[in-house]
Amino acid sequence: MEEIKNQIESLREELHDHNYRYYILDDPIISDYEFDQRLKKLQNLEEQYPNFADPNSPSQRVGGGVTKSFETVPHKYPMYSLSNTYSKEELIQWEERLRKTLGEEARIDYTCELKFDGASISLSYEKGALIKAITRGDGVQGDNITTNVKTIKTIPLKLKGNYPAFFEIRGEILLPWEGFNKMNEERAALGEPLYRNPRNTASGSLKLQDSRVVAQRPLSCFLYSLAGENLSVSTQFEALQKAREWGFKVPDSAQLVDSIDAVFDFITSWEEKRKSLPYEIDGIVIKVNSLFQQEELGFTAKAPRWAMAYKYKAEQASTCLNGIHYQVGRTGAITPVAQLEPVLISGTTVKRASLHNADQIEKLDIRIGDTVYVEKGGEIIPKITGVDTQNRGHSEDRVVFIENCPECFSPLKREKGEAQHYCINELSCPPQQIGKIQHFIGRKAMDIEGLGGETVCLLYKEGLLSNIADLYDLKKEQILPIERMAEKSVANLLEGIEKSKAKPFAKVLFGLGIRYVGETVAKKLAKEFKSIDRLAEASLESLIHTEEIGDRIAQSVVTYFASPQNQLQIEALKNHGLQMESIQIEQDFHEAFVGKKFVVSGVFETFSREELKVEIEYLGGKIASSVSSKTDYLVAGEGMGPSKKEKAEKLGVVILDEKSYLAFKQKPS
Ligand code: AMP
Ligand code: ZN
């Protein structure tokens, strides 16, 4: 038994260390594959010997715990907000106020830090183990979200070095752009409204009930302040260094300066640079460096007197609201879009801005003809931040959210707890029908050559297509008479459709457009359930018990297969000969590929990009969508963007062109 215990403990220690190397130092020494193998081994041992359980085991990273409602708990040390300013004059005035307390001659050093734009968190550590994670809440008490926070890989579950026995550390949980954009790509593929900005998405993620879902969100956490007694640090800058030594992620952007002029230099230097950071910041935080001076200065009711946030102004303009257009997405989600008098903001002409949903419209109390403020900040789509109340449109032009679908006139529905209105006429609302077919033929789904989104619209309008199964009934004679359809393109189109019958089951499943079933989930379901029949019969429980499948997805799958129309459609697709089962392929691992991360880009002569990806996975490699420090190989075809190449070169990623890839593959395994 003692032996088992030692084995478990040394595995844990080893995994904590690999995690630290990968996420904090960005310098892994084993492959992902080897890491996963060791983690599996640990999970197996923990399952077999539950008496050696440890709430801070690296196995907690994958999540598992579900929190139905988060417990409210008091903060041991209150979490204050920060006074903020947009002007340098006010910073000078701030220093004058500091001098009133600290003395005219006092030496004041400042730590300048980036103001990370995410959700603040307070972490408690006891004897080097994370014991609690609490949201800011109202500053006095917050929500206990420990289970979810443990899944964030940049937060250490066990510390290193010489840490105090008990302390709290504060930081910001955020969602870097890369992960955020990826989540939105998946949302777009699902036909769901996009997430608005990384900050809201990060804080929303923290409040999810299912920690397994949180584990999949690419969240990160940067730490910036310590709280506790006898911490044996005397300055803020030292605190940052110490936190780094203990294993926390503390960006090295912080700078210690000795005058307010140097603070201005820091602010100026980040004014442009911030735009190329991999995550969002909304300003700079300036803190009096000496903790002794901090103590002398103390707090107001809301914020410390020794710190100040300098915020960068978002680029904004005012223009006239000409009207509102309601878009209907593939899933029926309604998005109100403001139609604006064109206006120039930071170099681009803006004509439209998202109004998100009915609540937003009501909050702004917006009227057609209003002069509105438009901002292009960290958001992907410009947004309306306010209305010029001096200059209001007529009250009879007040915008009332539509009650019927603008396309099919069915009544709209809004589920409890959801912000979005939906058109529920899923089966015969034109944009939903067209959107579903477009999704099905899309690159990530069936990838039908010779058929594009425009043609789908055309065929829909001609009455030749109303659902995906109709594609397989299309006849040459029907299509030819349609305008713009030459003989050759019709032949290509039909050939593309015919070829799609060979596409693997996972692609078909993704193509069906089941709500919340994105590419990854479709692959997972295809692998686990193997056939559409078994998936259709799966109970809610068995779905939920599938790794990576949460309640929401499981429920959606069950609902989908319960619909008689969907059943008919699947029958029709089956009869047309589409792949409705996973083909078991024996994998043939190649040592040079196993566990390595590949990025594929450009076009190739002897194989398509898709074929290449399948081959790499077959040989044991992993495919990533963009180059990062974790990438091992970039397989570069013709026409790859120069920036990708540059990035790969900078990160020391091995670049293989078509010829060298073929040679690489030929090397004996
Ligand atoms: P505000 O929400 O505008 O009152 O700003 C205060 C918040 O800024 C804090 O609660 C933190 O969540 C956040 N923040 C981000 N970066 C820092 C930093 N480097 N130091 C202190 N607070 C920060
Ligand atoms: Zn409709």
pLDDT tens digit sequence for 582-594: 876 666 778 888 8
Q: Is the CB of 632 under 6 A from ligand 1?
A: no
Q: Report the distance separating Cα 152 and Cα 133, nearest Å.
A: 11
In the beta sheet, which residues pair with residue 404?
Answer: 411
Model pLDDT for residues 375-395, shown as the tens digit of each residue: 876 556 788 888 988 878 787
Other Cβ atoms less than 10 A from the Cβ of 270: the count is 21
DSSP character at residue 581: B
pLDDT digits (tens, 9 = 90+) for 93-139: 999 999 999 999 999 999 999 999 999 999 999 999 999 999 999 89
At 146, list the tokens: 């420990």
∠ CA 570-573-574 to the nearest 5 degrees?
A: 85
The percentage of the chain sitting over the pLDDT mark of 90, rounded to a whole number, equals 67
Ligand nearest to the CA of 202: 1
Going by pLDDT thresholds of 50, 70 and 90, the confidence category of residue 261 is very high
Sheet containing strand 281-288, strands side by side: 84-85, 307-311, 281-288, 110-116, 255-257
**In angstroms, what CA-CA distances link 344 with 316, 337, 351, 352?**
9, 18, 9, 12
**Distance separating the N- and C-terminal Cα atoms of the chain:** 39
Higher pLDDT: 472 or 666? It is 472
Q: What is the pLDDT of residues 651-668, one digit of tens each?
A: 999 999 999 999 898 877
Q: Summarize the confidence of residues 245-266 as an average pLDDT.
A: 96
Nearest protein CA to atom 17 of ligand 1, as residue: 115
Q: Which residue has the higher pLDDT, 602 or 287?
A: 287
List residues bridging with 166 in a β-sheet: 126
Is-catalytic flag, 115? Answer: yes
User: Measured between alpha carbons, how far is residue 311 from residues 2, 110, 379, 505, 554 in Å?
Assistant: 56, 17, 17, 50, 43
Asked whether the whole model's pTM tops 0.75, one would answer: no
Instruction: Categorize the per-residue pLDDT at 632 as very low, low, confident or very high, splitting at 50, 70 and 90.
Output: very high
Give the tokens for residue 96. Answer: 């004058």
Work out the number of other CB atoms within 10 angstroms of the CB of residue 502.
9
- What's residue 102's pLDDT? 95
Residue 110 CA, chain-centre distance (Å), reads 34
**630 in Cβ contact with 624 (< 8 Å):** yes
Per-residue pLDDT at 427 exceeds 70: yes
Opening angle at CA 329, ends 204 and 552, nearest 5: 40
Mean pLDDT of the chain: 91
Give CA–CA dist 327/405, Å, rounded.
9
Helix axes 32-48, 2-23, angle to 10 degrees: 150
What is the pLDDT, as a whole number, of residue 669? 56
Candidates 115, 249, 376, 436; catalytic one: 115
pLDDT tens profile 431-450: 999 999 999 999 889 999 88
Check residue 254 and give its pLDDT. Answer: 97
493-542 pLDDT per residue, tens: 999 999 999 999 999 999 999 988 988 899 889 988 989 999 999 999 99
Judged against a pLDDT cut of 60, whether residue 642 lies above it is answered with: yes
Q: What is the pLDDT of residue 375?
A: 87
pLDDT in tens, 559-576: 999 999 999 999 999 999
Alpha carbon of 355 to ligand 2 centroid (Å): 19
pLDDT, residue 380, reads: 64
Q: What does the pLDDT read at residue 340?
A: 95
Q: State which ligand 1 atom lies nearest to the alpha carbon of 113.
A: 19
Q: Is the CB of residue 598 less than 8 Å from the CB of residue 625?
A: no
The rounded distance, in Å, linking the Cα atoms of 639 and 645 is 11
Q: Residue 314 and residue 320: Cα distance in Å, rounded? A: 19
Half-sphere exposure of 605 (CA within 13 A, CB side): 5
293 C-alpha vs ligand 1 centroid, how far in Å? 20
3-class DSSP state of 192: coil
- Pocket flag, ligand 1, residue 116 (CB < 6 Å): yes
**151-165, 482-496, 531-545 — which is least confidently predicted?**
482-496
What was the pLDDT predicted at 221?
A: 97
Q: Is the minimum distance from the CB of 102 to ligand 1 under 6 angstroms?
A: no
| Ligand 1 and 280: CB distance under 6 A | no
Q: What is the pLDDT of residue 315?
A: 77
How many alpha carbons lie under 13 Å from residue 44 in its C-beta half-sphere? 7
The pairing of strands 633-636 and 597-601 is parallel
84 in contact with ligand 1, CB cutoff 6 A: yes
Give the Å distance between the CA of 189 and the centre of ligand 2.
Answer: 20
Q: What is the pLDDT of residue 415?
A: 86
Give residue 93's pLDDT. 96
- What type of residue is 393? G
SS (H, E, C) 582-617: CCCCCCCCCCCCCCCEEEEECECCCCCHHHHHHHHH
User: Does ligand 1 come within 6 angstroms of the Cβ of 310?
Assistant: no
Work out the burial of residue 58: count CB atoms within 10 Å of its CB; fewer than 13 is exposed, 13-18 middle, 19 or more buried.
buried
pLDDT of 203 higher than 80: yes
Report how far ligand 1's centroid is from the alpha carbon of 115 (Å).
6
Give the pLDDT of residue 491. Answer: 92
Task: Please tell me the predicted confidence (pLDDT) of residue 586.
Answer: 60
Residue 626 pLDDT: 84
Question: pLDDT per residue over 39-51, tens digit each?
Answer: 999 999 999 999 9
Give residue 101 CA to ligand 1 midpoint distance, Å.
24
Residue 110: per-residue pLDDT: 98
CA gap 152, 204 in Å, rounded: 14
Which pLDDT score is estimated for 377?
64
Nearest alpha-carbon partner for 181 in 189, 173, 172: 189
Cβ atoms 197, 174 nearer than 8 A = no
Q: What is the mean pLDDT of residues 196-212?
A: 91
Q: Check if 115 has its Cβ closer than 6 Å to any atom of ligand 1.
A: yes
**Ligand 2 being an ion, which residues bring their Cβ within 5 A of it?**
405, 407-408, 423, 425, 429
